[in-house]
Structure 1
Amino acid sequence: MSEVTLSIPFEQIKIGMSVSYSQTITDADVKQFAGISGDHNPVHVDDVFAENSRYKKRIAHGLISGSFFSALFGTKLPGPGCVYVSQSFNFKRPVYLGDTVTATATVTNIEPIKRRVFFDTVCKVRKKTVIDGVAELYVP
């Protein structure tokens, strides 16, 4: 698989190309996401509540990590102007504050007539999958 670092024309996208993005999840990220999304579930924002949960400490909203694919698609592959058609998420493990999440998207199929690109998507923390799924993007 080749690593793509800049956006490329649709005609140059090939099956097997992949891109990655990493970010460490902070308390500020979780609080800002709660404010934007309206999801103030105490397992995300309340230390005492989270200590008594099955996770024993606060966990990040799953869609924070899932949103990293949007960064990849909109800025790298396919790149500026592309639009989501669909995205699935399978949440495998929790992401804790302080974890560094690496999101990777790999091209699995291309439909030139409809200008669609299909991806396998995965987020990992310390080499363990926390989210996987698939995505479909339209490229104008």
Structure 2
Amino acid sequence: MSIINSELHIGQTARLQRIFNEEDLDQYNQLTKDFHPIYQHHEDSWKKYFTQPIIPALLVEGLIIQVISDKLPGSACVLLQKELIYYHPAHMGDMITAELTIIDINQERNWITQKVICFNQNGTEIIKGQIVIFVLPGG
């Protein structure tokens, strides 16, 4: 018996936007212990590779997870699989949009597959791929 909400359907889309700042980066550094110079915006290490300071891709992935938790499906679930390709870096101060679209619903397994696209304020794709989530009973 499926526990997936009958209001969910193929083609349904949800999105969230966020601008990442220095405080977000500081929290990322503390939680992951990733103090690589390329993410230290007060240093000039990033200038060797990029024209603007970048933010770690893991922060953008967090925005993807927020869409799942808050909007689609917006209920208790577990991430089973993710296949993401990082096309361009996200830069400090960019308005990043994470957009998820349901492309498959497996009622028997309570799995939802979603297409993922993340892009900046210029429409440049940052991340593209897909995820599979397991919707939990009672979620």
**Equivalent residue of 1:105, what SS?**
strand
| 2:79 match | 84
**Equivalent residue of 1:30, what SS?**
helix
TM-score relative to the length of structure 1: 0.88
1:48 aligns with 2:52: no
User: What stretches of structure 1 of length at least 5 have no aligned partner?
Assistant: 1-8
| 1:4 match | none
**Equivalent residue of 1:88, what SS?**
strand
User: What stretches of structure 2 of length at least 5 have no aligned partner?
Assistant: none
| 2:95 match | 100
How many residues are matched?
131
Whichever residue aligns with residue 90 of structure 2, its letter is: V
Whichever residue aligns with residue 119 of structure 2, its letter is: K
| 1:16 match | 11
Deviation track 1:24-47 (CA, whole Å, cap 9, x = no partner) reads 011111121111111111111143
| 1:138 match | 134
Deviation at 1:11, TM superposition (A): 1.9
Q: Distance in 1 between matches of 2:53 and 2:13?
A: 31
Give the alignment of 1:52-67 within 5 angstroms.
53-67=48-62
Deviation track 1:85-131 (CA, whole Å, cap 9, x = no partner) reads 11122110011111110000000000000010000001100211001
- Percent of residue pairs identical: 19
Deviation at 1:57, TM superposition (A): 3.2
| 1:75 match | 70
**Equivalent residue of 1:35, what SS?**
helix
1:114 aligns with 2:109: yes
Q: CA RMSD in A?
A: 1.2
Q: Distance in 2 between matches of 1:129 and 1:17?
A: 20
Contact residue 66 and residue 89 of structure 1 kept, 8 A: no
Q: Distance in 2 between matches of 1:86 and 1:103?
A: 17
- Structure 1 stretches of at least 4 aligned residues deviating more than 2 Å after TM superposition: none
